[in-house]
Amino acid sequence: MRNIETYDRPSLEAFHTELIEAGFEPVTDPRDKWIGPIHSAFGALTEANNMAIIIRDGWPIIFPILFVEGLHTNHLTEEGYVCMWHEGDGSQEWNTLDGFFARIEQWCTRAKQGWDSRGLARDAYLNFKHKHRTIATFNIEEFNIGESGHYGKFHGVQKHSLCIMLKPGKSQQSENLQGYWYSLERLEITPRNLDETLKALRRSQSRALCRNLDKRKHVA
């Protein structure tokens, strides 16, 4: 049996004990995934009865992660991963189950009352299935986006192996990245997949995106 790699075995075992006392049970060997009763703070956000806590190698430096089904809000991935801390967080608030639950309560309060929009882009990348090291940059003023409801084309120019510059309009060179931008007044919840993106767009934008995707499918 492989043991969880930890910098502090006694504190990990204490956390296991707290999980058991709270009604959680390990469902994997080693005991890294635990299923238990959902925290009451999620009551108004989901009808799920259980939640999963996964303890990762590197405890207690590396925080455990939480999965909850049935949520629809920001700071959450399509798979139900609840984003409570950013990688590299040094607070170690999760060292005890009380600390972990306190963070859940904070997260749920923000989900109900509204998130700080300045932080919504920080974990958006978690929803991308295939990640790439290349960074895309752009000057938003060049796109002349205008008022809500507008949309247009853009293309990407490879600056070097780790950077693509996005420019407005369609490129005549077929090897360049081609894409579409859409202007909205405000997004309450960041879309996590194509279906949610289509629902967030205006009807005219959604239809245009479907037409464009259909064209690209036939070209491919």
Q: What is the pLDDT of residues 47-82, one digit of tens each?
A: 999 999 999 999 999 999 999 999 988 888 888 999
**Tens digit of each residue's pLDDT (9 = 90 or more) over 166-189:** 999 988 877 778 888 888 877 777
From first CA to last CA, the distance across the chain in angstroms is 47
Distance between CA atoms of residues 49 and 69, nearest Å: 9
Instruction: Say yes or no: 119 and 136 in one domain.
Output: no
Instruction: Say yes or no: 32 and 100 in one domain.
Output: yes
pLDDT mean over 36-52: 97
Instruction: Say yes or no: 25 and 116 in one domain.
Output: yes
Q: Beta strand 135-137 with 163-168: parallel, antiparallel or unpaired? A: parallel
Listed ranges 1-10, 70-79, 95-104, 142-151; the one with the highest mean pLDDT: 95-104
Instruction: Say yes or no: 46 and 115 in one domain.
Output: yes
Instruction: Say yes or no: 39 and 82 in one domain.
Output: yes
CATH number (domain holding residue 45): 3.10.110
Enclosing domain of residue 116: 9-124
Asked, for residue 3, whether it belongs to a domain, the answer is no
Asked, for residue 2, whether it belongs to a domain, the answer is no
Asked, for residue 96, whether it belongs to a domain, the answer is yes
Instruction: Say yes or no: 95 and 167 in one domain.
Output: no
Angle at 36 between CA 107 and CA 80, to 5 degrees: 45
Instruction: Say yes or no: 54 and 117 in one domain.
Output: yes
What's the pLDDT score for residue 49? 97
Average pLDDT across the chain, whole number: 87
What's the pLDDT score for residue 13? 96
How many domains would you assign to the chain? 2
What's the pLDDT score for residue 186? 74
Instruction: Say yes or no: 104 and 141 in one domain.
Output: no
What's the pLDDT score for residue 117? 66
Asked, for residue 1, whether it belongs to a domain, the answer is no
Instruction: Say yes or no: 145 and 113 in one domain.
Output: no
Instruction: Say yes or no: 112 and 191 in one domain.
Output: no
Instruction: Say yes or no: 119 and 14 in one domain.
Output: yes
Per the CB < 8 A criterion, the answer to whether 105 and 41 are in contact is yes
Instruction: Say yes or no: 98 and 156 in one domain.
Output: no
Q: Which tokens belong to 47?
A: 């009808």
- Which secondary structure element, helix H or strand E, spans residue 138, and what is its range? none
Q: Is the pLDDT of residue 140 over 80?
A: yes
Q: Is the pLDDT of residue 120 over 80?
A: no
Asked, for residue 76, whether it belongs to a domain, the answer is yes
Work out the pLDDT band at 27, boundaries 50, 70, 90. Answer: very high
